[in-house]
Structure 1
Amino acid sequence: MTSISRRYTSQEYANALADFAFEQPNLQKLLLEIQYTTQDTYTFFIRMATESTEFIEKYLTGNSEDFYSQCHRAADRYGKETDKAVVDIAVGSLYTYVKAKFKEGYTKYSAALCILKGAGKSLQLATVHQRIGSNLIFQDQNKEAITHLKKSLAISLVSGKPFEFIALQAFSSMGCTLTKLGRFKDAEKYHFVCLKRRRKIQGKNHPDVGTTLNNIGLMYDQKGDGRLALKYFQEGLEIKNKSKAPDLSRVASLTNVANACVDVGKLAVALNALDEAEEILTKQRFPQPYLIAYLNDTRGKLYFQQGNMDKAGEMFEKAARGREDVASGKTDHVESLVHLMKVAVKKGDNAKCIKTGKTVLSFSDDVIKQRPKSHFLTECYDCLAKVYNTMGDDEKVRDTLTKIKTELLRLEYLYTRDCNEGQAVKIRQQLADIECKLKAMSHTLDEVTNLKTV
């Protein structure tokens, strides 16, 4: 098990996967043997839990929860507090990466950290800081995530070869959270360092290289460069397909490819990618609710582009419910709510648009904190302005346009500060359009006032 797991994260990935396919029945039985552990065999099982966590959670999910539960009980009888911490890290990873129960995962990681932080620097300490950082990214607590990821890197980068893999994971997580915060230059550095190191250590066609390319695509997508985003999404997916990456990893890449294709109008390609992703998801025991929600949201965007508002609304509703269950009020949830507002505008459902808009705006402070360069608030206000204009409520239209202007000025400052001139120019064009609308409204109001005076 440890031999296969070790090779699984190296350039010997293909051989490790082949050996696993042959040994899978025996390895599943091996996990069940933990219930019969004794003082003599205890160390063997704890070592397995320590060294094979990622492999177990990806390929032996069905037996993993019981295995870790038995390990924890065995640690009470035969082990040390640090052994319990190792098991808590493994269970935290199971909750985070397999079951998408992020709060439960964070609780387990925190329990492990309480034990490990008093025992000095170790691989386990570097690991738990990286895992907490990754967990917090899922919850959109990005600034808090960076604190833990820096601690992980501070340990792993000066501790030699055994720490290489956890350093790679920390580099990747740092790139992801910096992307969400809109710090694209910093994110780019971490992602490309990660890519270079992964190719050197794991080989050019390892699934983790595909994941890193996918994350780089996400960075360019957030930055507003759809062409580069699609390029990296497709490269990442190609490597994942070649290397027989885990199914859920392929689903993430397929949905990213579909999302980028919708944005550039390649709807047929997007539909094929979504259908393939959905087919994979239907076969999963733990299909990951956040991936299902992302797939539904992307399918909703496709229907929206096709002009099918009923189907688009149905998909966005499903996505909003799924994202709310995973992380209510976080940016992904808000994204689907804004998409619902756009459908409501198209269908002339003013009441629904206004009601959904109020929900979005109740999360505005968190959205700005989580994703400072997100455009969801301006999109929300834009939908409201259109609805108020349809209703003939000029006062609310002017107030909403003023709020759009304030939000755009905030975004212009951020993009100008980061020398992202492409996005800054787009923002200035939007500002000019808003100024024209406000001036036109002011002129109209003046004329009405003059007529009343006469």
Structure 2
Amino acid sequence: MNSEELGNLLDRLVEGKQAEADITTLRQFLKEGNNQALLQLGKYNVNIGQGQDIQIGDRVFVTWNDDAIQALIEVVQKQLPKATGIVENLPRSGVVEFIGRNHELYTLHQLLQDNQRITVTAITGMGGIGKTELALQYALKYKLQYLGGICWLQARGLNIGSQIVQFARSRLQLNPSEELDLLGQVGFCWSHWQAGEVLVIIDDVIDYKLIKPYLPPSESRFKVLITTQLRLGKSVKQLEIEVLDESSALELLESLVGKDRIHETLNDAKQLCSWLGYLPLGLELVGRYLDRKPDLSIAQIQQRLEKKRLEERSLQKPDSDMTKPLGVSAAFNLSWDTLDDSTKDLAFLLSLFAITPIPWKLVEQVASHEDPDDLEEIRDDNLVNLHLLQRKADSIYQLHRLIREFLQEKYSEIDKADAQKQKFCQVMASIAQQIPESPTLKFLLQMTPMMPHVAEAGTTLINYLSDQELIQPFAGLGRFYESQGFYNQAEIWYEQCRIKAEERLGTEHPEIAISISNLARIYQFQGRYTEAESLYMNALEMRKHLLGSNHPDVADSLNSLAVLAFKQGRYIQAETLFTQGLEIWKQTYGNEHPEIADCLNNLAMLYNEQGRYQEAEPLFIQALEMRKKLLGVQHPRIATSLSNLAYCYNLQEQYDQAQPLYIQALELSKQLLGEEHPNVADGLNNLGMLYLAKAKYLEAEPMLFQALELQKKMLGEEHPNVATCFNNLGYMYDLQERYLEAEPLYLQSLNMRKRLLGEKHPYVAISLNNLAKIYREQNRFSEAQPLYIQAIEILETQIGSDHPITVQIRTNLEKLLVLQTNNSDN
């Protein structure tokens, strides 16, 4: 393309006569065009700087993207002589700077240039989205295109036909006969309209049937642009506009408040934009208000909005020079007043849900007294049709944040509000109760869209939960996050559960014991054993007092305390507690029950740790078979059983039996829980350690590192499992005689275990032994000996003198003493 061709193309762009191919050509040329032709842009106030910087007016672009091309067109337009003699009655725009809609302006122009038939195009969207302003800015931008005039008509509350006749008489000097009826007079006006393309804009259409008889004839020179909240039929081309993105929302605030004021508190400004749902009307109202209040900070206006909601004066009092001086509530009321009672009832119900996408099946459950087909009709024909409700995906809907605020303020107008809220809470409590202790990833993905609404019942609407339902949302949310290894989030919900239950039910109640036990379990998973033990003991005593010593909940507390004692190396105490809990469960449930399978598995793990493999193995197998029978083969606890049985074989050096079980357990965990889960990290670690035992270091190393990273990601840097991973990596280097690499990892593991588990934990003794071993191998005998002695003292106290690990470390010390003696003799 040469300079002349570039100029011709720009002329077509400015005159609005370009085709899609022209835009494509221009985009390609600006990306690859020759410098001589690009220099011709200088006369349009476009400068190509060094590198790729492109200055267009007072804006700088890095590349020739769509925004840069649009900016070029705007600058070129300003260089051309102003249009004279174009008849129009456009209202005055109140915008300081029109932001974030360049793409929509271009798309709208393309829609209106379709000459195949009469062009009726609608700008649709929710109230306050900026439909009127977009139509006005389009008319101003492309005024040169419409030499036949631009006629602006107001649909709400006024007669369209009368406005058309009045425009024709006052602006075009047409004089239709008074003997004609109104439709006849309008027809006369259209048929005698002056030459040239004509743009007819009908703003705020609330009923298309009322304006349709007055539309111009089917001539391509007439372009009709409608703004409406309605979704119209297929015969009308529609441009649905959405809220602004974050960057455009911030830019709009900057245009009203000033760039410095926004950038000084950018995070506050981002939060404000989010609270306003990026709605142009809300942003403009608040921005203008802040401009009038230079001493009011963005954080302060945010606080006022959160306190007063839509009653906050910044959202209620528009400036008179705005294009449409309406507050947010007033803008929404225009649609609200057109709804019938059944639609309003459904809108109220939707406002109870959280400000996130809503699965429609939840709405049907809460409104179970209504016919689902009727609900669907009300939803689609009224709420969605008026853009009061947005369809986000298949059977997923959402209210805009400010519309939800508007509806909640209106809620006091209906008599059955309390009954609706109680039913909502009943449904959410029931959903929460469906979340098991070991859900699969597939189940969790199905439940994920429902969780914010369950949380809404447990927070905003907690007063409408019955005493029987009270802890269910909290406990369900806790299990939801706990099962994914998100222990910090689970802790928040379990802690809230305890607090709210005590406030409502007092400190002595079975539900309190459940909430305390749940919280203790999270502390245990986080390695906070001292805190967990205190809570477990509290729950146990409360359950004994309230339910009796032989209640299944008492067995649950005994089992939990046993697991904790086991993790702390108190094996004798753990065995006693496991046995007591098992007897209670057998008395209650018989010989087969998931709780009994769990207890058998836990008891087997204890025997395993004590080196009692002949007792552990049959219990692992019994627990595995019982779980398969009761839970099915596709269950996370099957993977746990397979892994535990493999570990039993591994400790007995039966590697060929252990390896396929470890692989099966890891694959099942990934399949059921996803690639990122603490159980998957455990599986990687277990398989990696097996490969170490078989001297397959190349296979082991990536698994052990992957396990470490996953544990750190899921559990945080300070957790006993992370310490174990450091120890295992050190062991890998130790086996390869890479002692300089092993030592820092062993030291890191030792210090973490002391800090997290206490100085006297068996795992501390194992770390001491590992560190002593590499010192021994390097002939650092004086450093190794005290570590061996300290490890033996811990183990003899905690697990006994005859435990295989104690015996092994005592043997290690004896070898050291022999080496020392031999070394001194030499």
User: If the length of structure 2 is used for normalisation, what is the TM-score?
Assistant: 0.44
Q: Does residue 78 of structure 1 match 2:511?
A: no
Contact 1:217 1:229 in 2 (8 A): yes
Following superposition, the deviation at residue 340 of structure 1 comes to: 0.9
Q: Which residue does 2:519 correspond to in 1?
A: 91
Following superposition, the deviation at residue 310 of structure 1 comes to: 0.4
Contact 1:4 1:16 in 2 (8 A): no
**Among candidates 194, 200, 212, match of residue 629 of structure 2:** 200
The code of the aligned residue for 1:91 comes to: L
Between stretches 228-237 and 49-58, larger displacement belongs to: 49-58
**Among candidates 61, 70, 75, match of residue 487 of structure 2:** 61
Q: Which residue does 1:149 correspond to in 2?
A: 578
Following superposition, the deviation at residue 2 of structure 1 comes to: 5.8
Aligned length: 388
The code of the aligned residue for 1:107 comes to: S
- The separation in 1 between residues aligned to 2:706 and 2:528, in whole angstroms, is 25
Deviations 1:161-199 (A, max 9, x none): 9x9332222121111011112222221122111101111
Change beyond 3 A, Cα 1:347–1:297: same
Q: Which residue does 2:782 correspond to in 1?
A: 351
Q: Which residue does 2:741 correspond to in 1?
A: 311
Q: Which residue does 1:166 correspond to in 2?
A: 595
Q: Which residue does 1:45 correspond to in 2?
A: 470
Q: Which residue does 1:417 correspond to in 2?
A: none
Q: Any gaps of 5 or more consecutive residues in structure 1?
A: 394-454
Indicate the SS of the match to 1:366. helix
- The separation in 2 between residues aligned to 1:385 and 1:220, in whole angstroms, is 32
**Among candidates 631, 644, 657, match of residue 228 of structure 1:** 657
- The separation in 1 between residues aligned to 2:541 and 2:809, in whole angstroms, is 38
**Among candidates 326, 329, 339, match of residue 760 of structure 2:** 329
Change beyond 3 A, Cα 1:388–1:313: farther
Following superposition, the deviation at residue 112 of structure 1 comes to: 0.6
Higher RCO (C-alpha under 8 Å, 6+ residues apart) = 1
Contact 1:92 1:109 in 2 (8 A): yes
Change beyond 3 A, Cα 1:66–1:42: farther
Q: Matches of residues 224-263 of structure 1 in structure 2 within 5 Å? A: 224-244=653-673, 247-263=677-693
Larger radius of gyration: 2
The code of the aligned residue for 2:812 comes to: E
The code of the aligned residue for 1:261 comes to: Y
The code of the aligned residue for 1:110 comes to: M
Indicate the SS of the match to 2:721. helix
Indicate the SS of the match to 2:786. helix
Deviations 1:286-316 (A, max 9, x none): 4562211111111111112222110011111
Change beyond 3 A, Cα 1:37–1:335: same
Deviations 1:371-425 (A, max 9, x none): 81222332233234323432339xxxxxxxxxxxxxxxxxxxxxxxxxxxxxxxx
- The separation in 1 between residues aligned to 2:658 and 2:754, in whole angstroms, is 27
Change beyond 3 A, Cα 1:30–1:335: farther
Contact 2:571 2:798 in 1 (8 A): no
Q: Which residue does 1:389 correspond to in 2?
A: 822
Q: Matches of residues 372-451 of structure 1 in structure 2 within 5 Å? A: 372-374=803-805, 375-392=808-825
Between stretches 359-368 and 260-269, larger displacement belongs to: 359-368
Q: Does residue 19 of structure 1 match 2:450?
A: no
Indicate the SS of the match to 2:760. coil
Q: Does residue 216 of structure 1 match 2:645?
A: yes
Change beyond 3 A, Cα 1:287–1:13: same
Change beyond 3 A, Cα 1:329–1:387: farther
Q: Which residue does 2:531 correspond to in 1?
A: 104
Following superposition, the deviation at residue 261 of structure 1 comes to: 0.9
The code of the aligned residue for 2:755 comes to: D
Between stretches 60-69 and 322-331, larger displacement belongs to: 60-69
Following superposition, the deviation at residue 15 of structure 1 comes to: 4.2
Q: Which residue does 2:710 correspond to in 1?
A: 280
Q: Does residue 116 of structure 1 match 2:540?
A: no
Between stretches 110-119 and 164-173, larger displacement belongs to: 164-173
- The separation in 2 between residues aligned to 1:30 and 1:260, in whole angstroms, is 47
- The separation in 2 between residues aligned to 1:287 and 1:4, in whole angstroms, is 31
Contact 1:344 1:352 in 2 (8 A): yes
Between stretches 47-56 and 375-384, larger displacement belongs to: 47-56
Change beyond 3 A, Cα 1:42–1:138: same
Q: Which residue does 2:563 correspond to in 1?
A: 134
Contact 1:290 1:326 in 2 (8 A): yes
- The separation in 2 between residues aligned to 1:227 and 1:288, in whole angstroms, is 34
**Among candidates 260, 265, 268, match of residue 695 of structure 2:** 265
The code of the aligned residue for 1:38 comes to: N
Following superposition, the deviation at residue 101 of structure 1 comes to: 0.9
- The separation in 2 between residues aligned to 1:7 and 1:360, in whole angstroms, is 44
Q: Which residue does 1:440 correspond to in 2?
A: none
- The separation in 2 between residues aligned to 1:379 and 1:48, in whole angstroms, is 54
Contact 1:8 1:17 in 2 (8 A): no
Deviations 1:87-142 (A, max 9, x none): 11011101112x11112111100001111113223332221111111111111112
- CA RMSD between the two structures: 2.8
Contact 2:643 2:665 in 1 (8 A): yes
Following superposition, the deviation at residue 82 of structure 1 comes to: 2.1
- The separation in 1 between residues aligned to 2:718 and 2:619, in whole angstroms, is 27
Following superposition, the deviation at residue 344 of structure 1 comes to: 0.7
Between stretches 339-348 and 63-72, larger displacement belongs to: 63-72
Q: Does residue 294 of structure 1 match 2:294?
A: no
Identity fraction in percent: 16
Change beyond 3 A, Cα 1:181–1:62: closer
Change beyond 3 A, Cα 1:4–1:38: closer
Indicate the SS of the match to 1:321. helix
Following superposition, the deviation at residue 73 of structure 1 comes to: 2.8
Following superposition, the deviation at residue 267 of structure 1 comes to: 0.5
The code of the aligned residue for 1:111 comes to: N
Contact 1:293 1:322 in 2 (8 A): yes
Q: Please state which structure has a larger fraction of its residues in strand.
A: 2
Q: Does residue 342 of structure 1 match 2:773?
A: yes
Q: Please state which structure has a larger fraction of its residues in helix.
A: 1
Change beyond 3 A, Cα 1:49–1:141: farther
Q: Which residue does 2:605 correspond to in 1?
A: 176
Change beyond 3 A, Cα 1:178–1:285: closer
Change beyond 3 A, Cα 1:380–1:187: same
